[in-house]
């Protein structure tokens, strides 16, 4: 089963995304899966642990971000609420020049990611424990990333307040969503206007091995985010800008 899965996984990435997946890449994905299952017995990383499901619903879904023309495979990337490393770890396995920073509010998940980086020998990866609402107000972090992404973290109006403060003017926030992505976008007009973002593109597509549509929303930062945002920790989720 594993070898057939690896072959299908590599073939799909090459045909749909245009990247050749080498033996070293497949070895990293295999080790990633092993560590994910091992650590998941101690801390809650994912409800999905069956090998094929992890490869398609987590690994492959993560790297679909590479199909977005505006995504720069050698620039910096901040992954907000990275959890078990999706989408940032699969992205860097395939794009070693990508300079990745992950931010997560749970120290146990950061410990997992730090162990993962060592095991996979990822060259340009750092993991930081903290909340987006706090780091988004830090001058060292604020408006300092060309690209920011988040996957399965919160509804889009909340995500925009978490993520747009980190994006440089002219840079992009990529929201990775499921079938409700377009509906969430309809809720986000006020947040976009308030926080300095503008819809650049929306891509909705199917992955044959996954039920339900996938949506990637690209938001361009067109002006600086007002200093009042992000609001204090917990407020964006309780009182979203809608």
Q: Which residue numbers belong to the known binding site?
A: 81, 86, 132-133, 151
Q: Is the dihedral of CA 217, 221, 222, 228 positive or negative?
A: positive
User: What gap in Å lies between CA 184 and CA 150, rounded to an integer?
Assistant: 14
Q: Known binding site for S-adenosyl-L-methionine: residues?
A: 81, 86, 132-133, 151
Q: Where are the alpha helices (DSSP H) in the chain?
A: 2-16, 23-40, 51-53, 61-63, 88-94, 107-120, 132-135, 156-163, 181-186, 189-195, 235-238
Please give the torsion angle defined by the CA atoms of residues 101, 106, 112 and 113, in that order, rounded to the nearest 10 degrees.
Answer: -10
Read off the DSSP letter of residue 69. T
Burial of 30 (0-12, 13-18, 19+ CB in 10 A): middle
Contact predicate 10/16, CB 8 Å: no
What angle do the packed helices 107-120 and 23-40 form, to 10 degrees?
A: 150
Cα gap 102→119, rounded to integer Å: 17
């Amino acid at each position: 089963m594993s070898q057939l899965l690896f072959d299908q996984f590599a073939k799909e990435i090459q045909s749909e995304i245009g990247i050749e997946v080498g033996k070293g890449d497949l070895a990293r994905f295999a080790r990633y899966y092993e560590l994910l299952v091992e650590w998941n017995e101690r801390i809650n990383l994912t409800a999905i642990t069956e090998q094929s499901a992890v490869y398609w619903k987590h690994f492959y879904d993560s790297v679909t971000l590479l199909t977005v023309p505006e995504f720069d495979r050698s620039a910096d990337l901040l992954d907000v609420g990275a959890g078990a490393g999706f989408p940032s770890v699969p992205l860097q396995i395939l794009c070693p020049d990508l300079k990745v920073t992950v931010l997560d509010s749970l120290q146990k998940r950061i410990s997992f990611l730090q162990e993962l980086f060592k095991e996979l020998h990822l060259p340009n990866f750092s993991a930081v424990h903290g909340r987006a609402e706090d780091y988004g107000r830090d001058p060292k972090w604020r408006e300092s990333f060309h690209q920011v992404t988040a996957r399965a973290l919160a509804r889009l109006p909340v995500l925009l307040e978490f993520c747009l403060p980190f994006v440089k003017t002219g840079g992009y926030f990529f929201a990775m969503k499921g079938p409700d992505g377009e509906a969430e976008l309809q809720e986000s007009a006020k947040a976009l206007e308030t926080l300095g973002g503008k819809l650049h593109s929306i891509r909705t597509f199917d992955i044959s091995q996954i039920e339900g549509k996938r949506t990637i929303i690209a938001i361009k930062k067109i002006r600086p985010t007002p200093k009042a945002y992000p609001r204090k920790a917990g407020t964006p989720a309780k009182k979203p800008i809608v």
